[in-house]
């Protein structure tokens, strides 16, 4: 087979060159001194445009960069790009890599160093594949976010807020920084749902979520545990600070406005606060904050207790 290929006649050679020229792949050949000796139409459109030389690798890269052609150079430093690329062009006999162009297309490049030092590059357009990959990644991110989010309030759901609790407990253990959590429960929620309907109850839950988010610090995280119960993570806060913040939330809660008839619906909430202790884990701190919330309800509701 090698002997047959090495004896192509003139017509076969012309046909081969014509096929390469018209190919949708980007084909180029550089000699051992990095002068361009052949480029097909696709390569020409990617890198050359109306360029009239010199047809060296570095000259072509500089021309393409000046004229909005060629590969994307993220830091816009064409000389740095050339300095990084030149030592790698002949470092291995063959390599494959993907690259993105200034015009938004992506190509998979096969780069072969021939025995005489010449370099053959063949690039296949993989833009459609990359766009499909991006769509799959975006769909995955959306699905992941949905799995972590409470649909009604757009807060972290139970699973995610507990994962975040585990994270702040690890940080508390490592740094010794203060940490409090608060369990918050809307008072007499059944008395809202039963006479006014579940839509009114949903309105109260969304109203409380929005109000609370407006009043907590940037580093605090509120999540919905389920039903009318919420968990608030307060990193860097001691028990006194946490109680004061809960008080400010309570003082700032206006009546929720029902969706159907526009009437106001007052509500209150009870809260339990627990400060993280050395060696606390999720179970131990949640037990204490649950006891504190129960104490607040036993005390008549609409108040905060520290456990």
Domain ranges of the chain: 2-130, 149-306
Distance CA 142, CA 208 (A): 25
Architecture of the 149-306 domain: 2-Layer Sandwich (3.30)
| pTM for this model (two decimals) | 0.61
Nearest one of 72, 47, 76, 49 to 60, comparing CA atoms: 47
Please indicate whether residue 22 is annotated as part of the active site.
no
What value does the mean pLDDT take over residues 201-207? 90
Architecture of the 2-130 domain: 2-Layer Sandwich (3.30)
Nearest one of 236, 256, 242 to 292, comparing CA atoms: 242
Structure tokens at 13: 């050679």
Sign of CA dihedral 246, 247, 253, 255: positive
Mind listing the pLDDT tens digit for each residue in 213-263?
989 999 999 999 999 999 999 999 999 999 999 999 998 787 776 656 677
Distance CA 46, CA 163 (A): 48
Q: Which of 11, 33, 214, 228 is catalytic?
A: 228
Q: In what order do the strands lie in the sheet with 94-100?
A: 36-39, 26-30, 119-125, 106-113, 94-100
Letter string b/e over residues 116-139, b meaning 16 or more CB atoms within 10 A of that residue's CB: eebbebbbbbbeeebeeeeeeeee
Helices in 149-259 by DSSP H: which ranges? 158-175, 190-196, 198-215, 239-252
Give yes or no on whether 2-130 and 149-306 have one common fold. Answer: no
Q: Give the model's pLDDT for residue 271.
A: 97
Q: Is the model's pLDDT at 58 over the cut of 60?
A: yes
Between 278 and 230, name the one with better pLDDT.
230
């Amino acid at each position: 087979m090698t002997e047959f290929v090495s004896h192509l006649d003139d017509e076969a050679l012309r046909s081969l060159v014509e096929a390469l020229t018209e190919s949708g792949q980007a084909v180029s050949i550089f000699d051992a001194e990095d002068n361009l000796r052949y480029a097909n139409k696709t390569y020409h459109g990617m890198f050359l445009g109306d360029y009239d030389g010199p047809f060296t690798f570095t000259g072509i890269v500089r021309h393409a960069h000046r004229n909005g052609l060629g590969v994307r150079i993220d830091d816009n430093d064409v000389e740095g790009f050339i300095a990084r690329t030149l030592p790698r062009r002949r470092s291995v006999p063959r390599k494959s890599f993907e690259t993105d162009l200034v015009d938004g297309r992506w190509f998979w490049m096969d780069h072969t160093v021939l025995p005489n030092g010449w370099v053959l590059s063949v690039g296949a357009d993989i833009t459609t594949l990359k766009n499909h990959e991006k769509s799959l990644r975006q769909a995955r991110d959306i699905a992941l976010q949905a799995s972590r989010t409470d649909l009604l309030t757009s807060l972290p759901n139970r699973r995610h807020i507990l994962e975040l609790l585990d994270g702040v407990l690890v940080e508390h253990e490592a740094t010794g920084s203060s940490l409090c959590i608060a369990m918050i429960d809307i008072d007499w929620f059944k008395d809202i749902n039963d006479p006014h309907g579940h839509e009114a109850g949903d309105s109260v839950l969304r109203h409380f979520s929005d109000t609370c988010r407006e009043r907590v610090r940037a580093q605090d995280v509120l999540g919905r545990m389920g039903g009318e119960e919420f968990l608030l993570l307060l990193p860097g806060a001691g028990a006194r600070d946490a109680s004061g913040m809960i008080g400010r939330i309570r003082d700032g809660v206006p009546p929720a406005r029902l969706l159907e008839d526009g009437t106001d619906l007052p509500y209150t909430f009870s809260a339990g606060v627990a400060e993280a202790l050395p060696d606390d884990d999720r179970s131990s701190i949640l037990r204490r904050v649950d006891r504190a919330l129960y104490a607040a309800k036993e005390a008549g509701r609409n108040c905060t207790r520290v456990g």
